[in-house]
Chain A
Amino acid sequence: MAQLFFQTGRDFVAWSSGAARYITGHNSGSGKLVVAVNCRLGNLEATDIALCDTGAEWSVIGGDTAGLLEEYFGPPTGSLSMLTRHGTYEGKLRNLDVHLLADPDMGTDVRVASTVLVIQEWPGPTVLGYRGFLERLRFALDPGVAPDQEIIYFGTVG
């Protein structure tokens, strides 16, 4: 199990609780997923590859994926007009639990009680953005010394 630790004097305190491989440069059709992570949306049995994007204001879920998650979403807000990299779209903010999944023998998953923007016509990939998701998550990217060694470390704050 590989985790990151703070060092304070001679003491070490765990900085992360889980870690996993991440994917770089996957072409999802609507653009390249520069950093993509394996996650579980709601309590779906299957997992999803999502773009991890600190530059995105909100996490975004759209199209078919949103339809599968209806039972796991919280109540929606009124419609919002949001400017995205694919243009301006109407969407609604909703609460959703999203799990970042740790690889076997690399600590434990984290569950984020998050908020996502649901856009039915969204042409892009599932996005894990800053507001409502990354803003309270501790994470670090280790690109590794060779391809396919990329690791994302994650944990709770404090």
Chain B
Amino acid sequence: MNAEVGTSSPSQRRMPRGDFWAVNSAATTPSLFPSTFTPSAEFARRRVYPLAIYAEERQPGVPTQAPASYLEGMEAQRVGRDFLEAFIKMESLGVFVATASLGEIEPLRASAATNITEKTKKDLHEIKTLVESGRVREARRYLLGLRMSMEVRPEIAVWSQVLAEPVVISEHGATGGDLGNNTAWLKQHTAEYQGCWVALKQGVLLGSDKNRTELHRRLKNAGKLSGAMFVRIG
């Protein structure tokens, strides 16, 4: 059975604003949700997205049966991802949706969930490959394409964050220390601290250690961490 929109009687076509209904296309099965149920947009996405994918799979390239009048001016003759947007917007308009019967919903959802996982895996692999080969701009374009098609899942969102161009902001003060004196100290004492981390402040050695974490902990406990500059010496 294909996902359909608005194939039942006129009395069923209009629900109170905010209601979202899913009934079978023959209008013989009770709705999946009670008439008083008002789903959130997130709920609608999670419920409807699998159905949109289902529609895409079952009717690739074939327009849905949604009459334009039910879509309130939206483009009705579209399938696939656009179908999802149509569902969500219809929900806000209070238009009911006729789709698969109760018995078909769970397999549908499972199938769609598998499809989403597979698609996400493919996307992640593509992004990773692009980044590993230094094609960061292409990876950014790829992610932009996913955002445009509403396919951003949490695993993908992390990539969107780390591949975003950096943002540079001027701060209100200068917090750099006395690099000149610290540099002078480094030139004079490099030979004595080979293989160590040193912490300097105003040209004075605060401490040294082969382990940076240990040096950090020691200075913190001594209240000397603020303003210290850490350098590793070869």
Contact = CB atoms under 8 A, between A and B. Distances in A.
A83 to B, nearest CB: 8
A112 interface: yes
Interface string A38-81: 10100001111100000001000001110110000011111011
Interface residues of B, number: 52
A17 B165 CA distance: 20
Query: How large, as a class, is the contact surface on chain A?
Result: 35 or more
Contacts of B169: 110-113, 156
A99 B219 CA distance: 21
A136 B230 contact: no
Contact of A108 (B168, B172, B232): B172
Interface of A: 17-18, 20-23, 26-31, 38, 40, 45-49, 57, 63-65, 67-68, 74-78, 80-82, 93-95, 99, 101-115, 125, 131-133, 135-138, 148, 155-157
Given A38-B177, A93-B162, A131-B136, 13 more contacts: A45-B227, A46-B229, A48-B231, A49-B229, A64-B211, A74-B161, A95-B161, A101-B174, A101-B176, A105-B174, A113-B169, A136-B166, A148-B183
Q: 3 smallest A-B Cβ distances: which pairs?
A: A29-B234, A101-B176, A64-B212
Interface of B: 124, 128, 131-132, 134, 136, 158-159, 161-180, 183-184, 186, 190, 194-195, 197, 199, 211-213, 216, 219-220, 225-234
